Structure 1
Amino acid sequence: MLRDNTPNERIVQLEANGGVMENGCTTPNFLPGFNLECYPNQDSTKYIDSLQLDTVHTILRGTLRYKGFCSNTLGLIRLGLLSDKPHPSLQFTDNLTWKEFMCDLLNLKRDTSVNTIRSVVLQQLKNESQLETIDQLGLLSEDILVEKRSNPLDTLSNWLAKRLSYGPNERDIVILHHEVGVTWPSVSREENELKTIEMVIYGDQKYTAMAKIVGLPTAIVTRMLVDNEISDRGVVKPVKRTIYQSILHELKREGISWTEKTIKK
């Protein structure tokens, strides 16, 4: 959901079951070398109160992925592979292959040939790239057995965690990009600025990038609590300046850095 606090204030809501992937996916205008795309991540309006952003005109929290993610995920959705509803084939069938499970999802006989399944999938999706993704993920395999969970989503997630695990020479990356548009009141006129904060962190042989940006702040806050540097008690969000500034300072000492820019408009 996006909040648009212009004179024609409105809340834009994208439907589930592929609506976000189909209608909300855009190409960002930063870091072109990474070939990224962005889509809205859940309800952005809930951050207005917690971050004290009552005066904002528009707010969007998005997720960055490599180009093609939205389209290929949309294909998985349309085939029912991301459904969180229980499926009988995952509860009452022994030694089920991925090809047989695809037949069940497509209402085909289990002895249907792989070529015929491909044709049916292509006819349903009308997208060659989505079909290629289904094939590359091993979802048409006649040999790989499904490690069944209660629903297609959990079953596929369990399979992809193994299929797409990092190899010996691969590493993860975390990219964060913030844009804040500001209008400053002036004596003669209003002045507009765009402030950006950008962070690109790579994993290494010791830690993944995700482990660094999640684990280090947690460790820093734990030390701060032990040393009584945080007087607040209970569940405390890290939006207080006295808390987050100390965390950011120590993160820089640990090699977690970011770039800040201000562009006059």
Structure 2
Amino acid sequence: MRKILVVGAGKSTSYLIDYFLEKAVPENLHLTIGDINPDAMPSEIKDHEACTVIHLDIFEDEERKKVIQESDIVVSMLPARMHMQVAEDCIAFGKHLVTASYVSEEIKTLDDQAKEKGLVFMNEIGLDPGIDHMSAMQVIDRIRDKGGKMILFESFTGGLVAPESDNNLWNYKFTWNPRNVVVAGQGGAAKFIQEGTYKYIPYNKLFRRTEFFEIEGYGRFEGYANRDSLNYREAYGLQDVLTLYRGTMRRVGFSRAWDIFVQLGMTDDSYTIENSEGMSYRDFVNLFLPYSPTDSVELKLRHYLKIAQDDIKWLKLQELNLFDSQKTIPLINATPAHILQFILEDSWSLDEEDKDMIVMYHKFGYELDGKQYQIDANTVVKGESRTHTAMAKTVGLPVAIAALAILNKKITTPGVQIPIQKEVYGPILEELKNYGVVFKEYDVTYKGYNPESVYDK
């Protein structure tokens, strides 16, 4: 019996757990799920003969070390900041490790030890990062195999609401960690390369500088720049590329309205509001507006930000009940960002019957035999329910597929890594097709050229 330990059983683990349990008999697997709140697990998982659900506090050293030592491979679905204790135990006990999180500087320090022990420490194997790396490298490698030279790469990903559940003016609901949405883009200027020139967008301008694109069958979307598009220049081998831009995707109009919160200061997470508990939504908005003995909060805000009464942005603010004097905030000494998150969750949480949607879009520009070409690729994945979301599918399935591939010695290159090698991305992308994660590719006219396809579909 081969033992898989999953540490942390949050929103993104529904498909991951299902995958392991489906494979339990044919692959001779036993799954142990360790979570701080095991009672929240559905009974069909807790009662499954191939599964054991245990209480696990990763800060309890003895308990953590024991379950890791008893496993053959560890999948950590904990928040990124908590991976290190698990990773150090995996080194100590000679266990492979898989996470969906970005490679931290701490985890990087374990690379030599992982290689010495022949251990695969696979990171960034979820959605973004994860499927974005694998789908991009598959096309980039194919272009290079044909003798092409990459000159442009753009990539956007969005966790959105499916069209049939899209029933608010923002065309958005939370499908992932709401806090990450509220503080997105903070911590420095967004940086990327465009036509050979470094470009920088400060946070206070980020949501006014958007790109637009069409996804066949799903309409128009916009994208704003991620904080650092240059992180993967070396990993992807794109040191000489003229344009490198990675971003987050939303429906058109979202960013322009979100910019209101940025300009007011509501996304600030650097200080606390002492009297936040019991404050009304209306009073919270008023904190950020000039004093007036006569004007209402609504009028002050419209004048302050020059928003017309019939502007869709104004209607979007009203839809969030921001000017309600009866709705109150229960948070003690909260930051503006925490309060804004609470207000948004009131309106943007998925209802029981709601479905989410993942959209990913890549643009590849390259030169071949003196001519320039473009390939566009995209995938759209819809969720099935509030628990089996598209986000959980696209984060959890690649993690699970990679873990089983490592157990089966199909992925063997040791060390701390991300999924950019053919050994990794080839079989994982192929298996993801069975679950509806399929990329469509299009030849696109690039700078006046309309060539025959130079890659194999």
Q: 1:215 aligns with which of 368, 373, 396?
A: 396
**Structure 2: gaps spanning 5 or more residues:** 1-190, 450-457
Structure 2 residue 342 is matched with structure 1 residue 123? no
Q: 2:206 aligns with which of 20, 25, 49?
A: 20
Distance 2:341 2:364 in 1: 35
Residue in 2 that maps onto 1:57: 242
CA contact (8 A) 1:147 1:159 kept: no
Tell me the distance in 2 between the aligned counterparts of 1:147 and 1:71.
29
How far did residue 166 of structure 1 move?
1.5
- Counterpart selection for 1:87 from 252, 258, 272: 272
1:100 to 283, 308, 312: 283
Instruction: State the match for 1:151 in structure 2.
Output: 335
Counterpart residue number, 2:198: 11
Deviation at 1:63, TM superposition (A): 1.5
CA distance 1:94–1:201, shift in 2 (3 Å): closer
Higher RCO (CA-CA < 8 Å; seq separation 6+): 2
Aligned to 1:46: 231
Instruction: Tell whether the 8 Å contact from 2:276 to 2:329 is kept in structure 1 after alignment.
Output: no
Q: Is the 8 A contact 1:121 1:131 kept in 2?
A: no
TM-score of the aligned structures, taking structure 1 as reference length: 0.87
Distance (whole Å) between structure 1 residues aligned to residue 409 and residue 319 of structure 2: 52
TM (norm. structure 2) is 0.52
Indicate conservation of the 8 Å contact 2:289/2:304, yes or no: no
Aligned residue number for residue 164 of structure 1: 348
The alignment's C-alpha RMSD in Å is 2.1
1:233 counterpart = 2:233: no
- Runs (4+) of structure 1 moved beyond 3 Å? 29-33
Query: By how many angstroms is 1:55 displaced?
Result: 2.4
Q: Is the 8 A contact 1:44 1:59 kept in 2?
A: yes
Length, aligned pairs only: 251
Q: Percent of aligned positions with the same letter in both sequences? A: 23
Tell me how far 1:29 sits from its aligned partner: 4.4
Aligned letter for 1:121?
Answer: L
Q: Are the equivalent residues in 2 in contact too, given 1:41–1:63 (CA < 8 A)? A: yes
The amino acid across from 2:235 in the alignment is: S
Question: Does the 8 Å CA contact 2:267/2:340 hold for their aligned counterparts?
Answer: yes
The answer (yes or no) to whether the contact 1:177–1:199 under 8 Å persists in 2 is yes
The 1:147/1:133 distance shift into structure 2, 3 A limit, reads farther
Preserved CA contact (<8 Å) 2:282 2:325 = yes
Q: How does 1:124-203 map to 2 (within 5 A)?
A: 124-127=304-307, 128-148=311-331, 150-185=334-369, 190-203=370-383
The unaligned stretches of length 5 or more in structure 1 are none
**CA deviation map 1:213-258 (0-9, x unaligned):** 1110011011112222221333211001101101101101222212
Matched, 1:256 2:256: no
Name the amino acid aligned to 1:191.
K
Whether the 8 Å contact between 1:72 and 1:133 is mirrored in structure 2 is: yes
